[in-house]
Structure 1
Amino acid sequence: MNAAQMTRRQLFGRASAGIGTAALASLLGEGRALTAPHFAPKAKRVIYLFMHGGPSQLDLFDHKPGLQKLHGQEFPASVLGDQRLTGMTSGQKSKPVTASMFRFQQHGQSGAWMSELLPHMGRVADEMCIIRSMHTEAINHDPGVTLLQTGHQQPGRPSFGAWASYGLGSENASLPAFVVLISRGSAARPADPLYARLWGSGFLPSNHQGVSFRSSGDPVLYLSNPPGLSAATRRDELDVIQALNRKQLAQQLDPEIETRISQYEMAYRMQSSVPDLSSLKDESAATFEAYGPQSRVPGSFAANCLLARRMAESGVRFIQLYHRGWDQHYNLPSDLRLQCGDIDQPCAALITDLKQRGLLDDTLIIWGGEFGRTTFSQGKLEPTNYGRDHHGRCFTMWLAGGGVKPGLQYGETDDFCFNVARDPVHVHDLNATLLHQLGIDHERLTYRAEGRDFRLTDVHGRVLKGLLA
């Protein structure tokens, strides 16, 4: 094989004897985490409560009493404009204005309006920073989730948690920096698919990908040794594998081999750390009562919120919860009630629990989905039933802790809850602001791949100083 036929890796491998120790260290350093913030962080860790499917802002947080007078009338073409609609409503001849059937009231000193479906969150309203002016270009689930989680609608880029792991590393050497927990909502509807690439590392070294915890069996796949394999034998096996990997590393100078070595060692340490972390047997009866009866059910959203608090205490950097079932094209009133029953009390309890333990100030909580829902109904509008289609032009998310302003309502939508009227917040702006709270300049957190520098916010994003305490 001549030099022209060699790959870059093969060329370096053949020439490794002459590169020298300094050059080797430089090459291996390409894939390592930065492990230091750019400036003093307000938040040390993130708990991301992702409501997969797109919760209806109009029925939960964005109170529009004026729509009651227009209920059932045709949605104005002047407001609709030339906005993209999904194939589910683009050809729908009639688009009747659909006011929320739920009562709203103000909560706390901040006077935040919330739906009757969220009484527990109402009691912690003064801890929340509610953003009512989120917007995104995506109008379908997969590109919407992918954009919010990775900064791009097309798959293949690192997730937010992977960027956080790469940028800051882990606080606990015996636990992964990035953990994923998934729950299924009570609404009896098909769940939109969740792909593992949403918590993947993309082109970052693979040790930064999220580790998915399970609700039954081993918390993490293959955590236990196979029958007949003792801990001592397992340790001997890993030592042999490590020696072989280090020999290959010296020959090929591939940073991914070093990642593989570290992952083997992490998996070994997790065999003792994860079972203790995932067991809730030492939690008090009062704690279970605070999070609600479902907190005793493994794999429920409530149990995952309690587990997220334990992970935050133990030094896990980024904890991602996915709760599925919010895609309410039909039967919204009944299904939304069920979904809120899943999440209302646990979300409020998580905020309160972290605050009581002195962890809320440096833990950043994020709540929201990939987009919102339309003001007009999808399909026929019935007296006590309606559905709503996807809507990316305005939706609501909220933050708590981690140095954001508590008791703040940021941004505003128009009278139809269809367009942003004041202080728009794009997905890239949100991600830039979240990274800022972690002490990271979103323009400086980059990784070179395929001949260019990539970042979470692509070439966009601005830090929203108005959200920060």
Structure 2
Amino acid sequence: MQKDFLEHGLNFNRRRFLSRLSLGLGSAALGSLLVPDLFSGASSEAGLAPGIPHFAPKAKRVIYLFQNGAPSQLELFDYKPRLREMMGQDLPSSIRGNQRLTGMTANQTAFPMVGSFANFKQYGESRNWISDMLPYTAKVVDDICIIRSMHTEAINHDPALTFFQTGAQQGNRPSMGSWLSYGLGSENKNLPSFTVLLSRGRGNSQGVYSKLWSSGFLDSIHQGVQFSSGDDPVLYLRDPDGMNKFERRKFLDQVSQLNQISYEEFGDPEISTKIQQYEMAYRMQTAVPEIMDLSKEPDDIIKLYGTDSMTPGTFAANCLLARKLSENGVRFVQLYHQGWDHHGNLPSEIASQAKDVDQASAALITDLKQRGLLDETLVIWGGEFGRTNYSQGKWTAENYGRDHHPRCFSIWMAGGGIKPGISYGETDEFGYNIVKDPVHVHDFQATILNQLGLNHEKLIFKHLGRRYRLTDVSGKVINDILV
């Protein structure tokens, strides 16, 4: 105990000495101007200086349009005419193999294959197959890369969604946006480096939880900031009643001094983080209202995204906000659009859901491109897994549902050094198994980090004696889809 007391005293004296040290402060100040995140963000465990990538990046930021609930690839991107020819026939056991099934279809005695009610056509110079439910996406098909060979281990929504966002099926891991904040820092000191926007479609919805944008074991300064569609887009950002901006500045200065004393005494990094969060909230008071105001957007932009873009909280409005946040330096903008869980009544529900997102998703690509921002912005569209080629329960050609299918599904990526106008990977004629170029979730994550100049094997954080990374102990960059 006496030893601990002496150690504490030595640390305290050392901190007092360093806090009062004047020699070299000029150099430190200059360094903080040249490298804004020099004294915050990633530690040496990340394998890089804070705010500096491992190598030259192709992208500066990410907009991730996550379609929560798992869109059916067979109705949107993976054209399988054979399923129509074999409508109602039982899926051969040789094709199904030992695939794990959910509790919703594990007891089925038959697995009747169902072809898509939607029609497909080839579009653009790339001649990629796109469903007629996505007419706007079809117009930008030469700007996107469709990956048809995604696969994952998780078979239920929560672990699958968590896996995509954090690299693990369990909670308490940093999300992808938090890893990027940790590794690269912020581009705009008046805005968080990681923001979250939520919207909901008309279909069956799965939950979205704050653990998905948690910083996990990283400093909490790296957690995502959720923006809402109400009068207060960020909670508790406004000055309290009876307090003006000058008074709040004085109050924050005094709180900061008290926190600094606590930090010097105890050395808890979360105290330093809290100081940064208070300061960020103060600066956001000016920046956020201006960005959230869509009334100044020109008519041609509103027409591009659709009239829904003027209704706060819609997917279209959030896509427009994502563009504004991204062009103002937010490193990672995460959208979640709920309503894709189509176990039954799929034809009518997916048509409605596709209409919700099609125009705005394509508009975001067009808008970024015409502003010269697409090359430096990586845009991603997709869900947590795919859908089975057989019907769940009773079916007709006009009405059916599809169960969860982690073995193969489709997403698309655009901009940020991704090859445009290509498709990557193939599934079999039944749309059940991958036959060419499989892409695992960790491969997908490694590729995203790569495009932002980060080596996924070097972006690490030591926690409880183990070195963690977003891709855990696997993952490889998908070089064939890179420019």
* Structure 1 moving runs of 4+ over 6 Å: 21-25
- Residue in 2 that maps onto 1:410: 424
State the one-letter code of the partner of 2:179: W
Partner of 2:334: 320
The answer to whether the aligner puts 1:388 opposite 2:402 as a matched pair is: yes
Does 1:81 pair with 2:76?
no
Which of 452, 455, 458 is the aligned partner of 2:469? 455
| CA RMSD across the alignment | 1.7
Judge conservation of contact 1:12–1:253 (CA < 8 Å) in 2. no
After superposition, where does 1:132-281 map in structure 2 within 5 Å?
A: 132-187=148-203, 189=204, 191-281=205-295
Q: TM-score, normalised by structure 2?
A: 0.93
- Does the alignment pair 1:432 with 2:446? yes
Q: CA deviation at 1:383?
A: 2.9
* Partner residue of 1:93 out of 109, 113, 125: 109
Task: Give the direction of change, closer, same or farther, for the CA distance of 1:20–1:266 in structure 2 (3 Å limit).
Answer: closer
CA change 1:13–1:316 in 2 (3 A) is farther
One-letter amino acid of the counterpart of residue 162, structure 2: T
1:194-223, CA deviations, whole angstroms, 9 ceiling, x for partnerless residues?
A: 110100100000000000000012110011
- Separation of aligned partners in 1, 2:269 and 2:244: 31
* 1:64-89, Cα deviation, whole Å (9 max, x unpaired): 11111111011111111111110000
CA distance in 1, matches of 2:8, 2:313: 46
Distance change >3 Å, CA 330–CA 230, structure 1 → 2? same
Matched, 1:71 2:87: yes
Check conservation: 1:14, 1:251, Cα contact below 8 A.
no
Q: How many angstroms apart in 2 are the aligned matches of 1:402 and 1:388? A: 33
The residue aligned with 2:12 is 17
Call closer, same or farther: CA 1:258–1:67 in 2, change over 3 Å.
same
SS at match of 1:251: helix
* 8 A Cα contact 2:15 2:264, kept in partner: no
Say whether the 8 Å CA contact 1:31–1:204 is kept in structure 2: no
Which segment is superposed worse, 341-350 or 253-262?
253-262
Q: CA deviation at 1:381?
A: 1.1
Separation (CA, whole Å) in 1 of partners of 2:417 and 2:451: 7
- State percent identity of aligned pairs: 56
The answer (yes or no) to whether the contact 1:133–1:411 under 8 Å persists in 2 is yes
CA distance in 1 between partners of 2:40 and 2:310 (Å): 44
Change in 2 beyond 3 A, CA 1:36/1:65: same
In structure 2, distance between residues paired with 1:468 and 1:23: 47
Residue 93 of structure 1 deviates from its aligned partner by 1.4
* Alignment CA distance shift 1:64-1:250 (3 Å): same
Please give the secondary structure, in 1, of the residue aligned with 2:147.
Answer: strand
Which residue is equivalent to 2:46? none
The 2-side partners of 1:108 and 1:225 are apart by 52
Q: What is the rounded CA distance, in whole Å, between the counterparts of 1:465 and 1:153 in structure 2? A: 26
Q: Judging changes above 3 Å, is the alpha-carbon distance between structure 1 residues 301 and 12 closer, same or farther for their aligned structure 2 residues?
A: farther
Residue 296 (1) aligns with residue 310 (2): yes
Indicate whether 1:360 and 2:374 are aligned.
Answer: yes
Structure 1: 5+ residue runs without aligned partners? none
Deviation at 1:34, TM superposition (A): 2.2
1:265-319 Cα distance to aligned partner (Å, 9 max, x none): 0000001110001110110111111101111110000000000111111111100
Structure 1: distance between partners of 2:7 and 2:41: 15
Distance, in Å, in 2 between the alignment partners of 1:18 and 1:181 is: 46
Structure 2 SS opposite 1:373:
strand
1:105 corresponding residue in structure 2: 121
SS at match of 1:334: helix
The CA deviation at 1:94 is 1.7
Q: Kindly provide the amino acid, as one letter, of the partner of residue 55 in structure 1.
A: P
Deviations 1:79-122 (A, max 9, x none): 11111110000111121001101100001000010101000000
Q: Between Structure 1 and Structure 2, how many residues are aligned?
A: 460
Distance 1:30 1:168 in 2: 8
CA shift digits 1:35-68 (9 cap, x unpaired): 1100000000000000000000011000011111
Q: Distance in 2 between matches of 1:77 and 1:221?
A: 53
Q: What is the CA-CA distance between 1:20 and the residue it aligns to?
A: 5.3
